[in-house]
Amino acid sequence: MDYHEIRYEVRNGVGWIRLNRPDKLNALTTRLAQETLDALASAREDEGIRCLVITGEGRGFSAGQDLTEFTAATGGDGGGGLDVAEHLRSGYNRMITSIVELPMPSIAAVNGVAAGAGLSLALACDVRIASDAARFLQAFVKIGLVPDSGGNWLLPRIVGFAKALEMSITGDLLDAQEALRIGLVHRVVPADEFETAVTEFAERMAGGPTLAIGATKALMSDALRLSLTETLEREAVTQADLAGSSDFAEGIGAFLDKREPDFTGH
Ligand code: T3D
């Protein structure tokens, strides 16, 4: 697929998806969603990619659904030709599950404002690194909608129920420091150091034991709905698998040799 509304590149084991409608703060169109899905599928299939970064071009991360496209499609009152539920299922819902189910670590590099479904894309990633220019809002309520794209599931798990509900029913804008304080992002970096800081962290993740990292993601998210007994058993089975991996042999060897490990993700 030719990409027009995203840029996708692979560098040093890291796949970079750059949302690329800077004049519209990377508001999400149907085309942008399909291109992002295509890039996510490529990343998933590519053994050379051991970390994925999603970021935005220009001064925005993403302002959520493109409201011009949405208004044209619905006639502005939901009565137009667009099947809104199907639009969510075929685009947003697939993007969110594709990100969450990635076998490698995912990083949202939030360079600027993240609103509505744009914020949901960031929430679906494992790690959120924000520029000090980033801002965050659950914009849906401002246009009379409920959070979608997993906003009702992801946000309370990240910042807790009370803060998630407050953000969702007020639509208030949070700056990067407030986002850090409530645990919405993991780290805030000055804008002029942002690209370097994200690259360093992403490449560090790409050099990690990818099998163990992917298995940790699956174990920990499943553990939120399983019992301790069930989780203990899953840990035992997973650990037995990983104990046969090359990365385990390399990790042990490096420890005994007093050197840095050279993990390959196998
Ligand atoms: O089925 C479905 O698709 C339903 C799914 C819904 C999912 C959703 O995401 S709903 C939420 C949609 N998003 C919003 O409601 C946010 C709307 N945008 C804003 O509130 C503000 O733009 C921001 C707070 C994000 C940023 O404000 P500011 O002052 O920094 O920038 P700006 O001047 O408002 O925006 C700059 C340009 O981007 C401007 O275009 P122009 O006038 O220079 O040509 C603005 O119109 C455009 N833009 C910003 N957000 C959107 C947008 N264009 C289309 N859609 C947008 N969401």
Q: Which two tokens stand for residue 8?
A: 């996708």
Q: Whose CA is nearest to atom 20 of ligand 1?
A: 139
Q: What are phi and psi of 100, to 5 degrees?
A: -60, -35
pTM: predicted TM-score of the whole model, two decimal places: 0.97
The 10s digit of each residue's pLDDT in 170-227 is 999 999 999 999 999 999 999 999 999 999 999 999 999 999 999 999 999 999 999 9
pLDDT, residue 73, reads: 86
User: 207: CA distance to ligand 1 center in Å?
Assistant: 37
**43 Cα–ligand 1 center, Å:** 28
**Ligand 1 atom at shortest distance from the alpha carbon of 70:** 3
What percent of the chain is modeled with pLDDT above 70?
Answer: 98
pLDDT of residue 82: 87
**Ligand 1 centre from 115 Cα, in Å?**
8
What is the spatial distance between Cα 15 and Cα 202, in angstroms, rounded to a whole number?
9
pLDDT tens digits for 58-75?
A: 999 999 999 999 999 887
Q: Using an 8 Å Cβ cutoff, are 117 and 70 in contact?
A: no
pLDDT range class, residue 81, cuts 50, 70, 90: confident
Rounded to an integer, the average pLDDT of 126-141 is 98
CA-to-CA distance for 146 and 164, rounded, in angstroms?
A: 12
Residue 65 DSSP code = B
- The average confidence (pLDDT) of the chain is 97
For position 261, what pLDDT does the model report?
97
Q: How many CB atoms lie within 10 A of CB 193?
A: 12
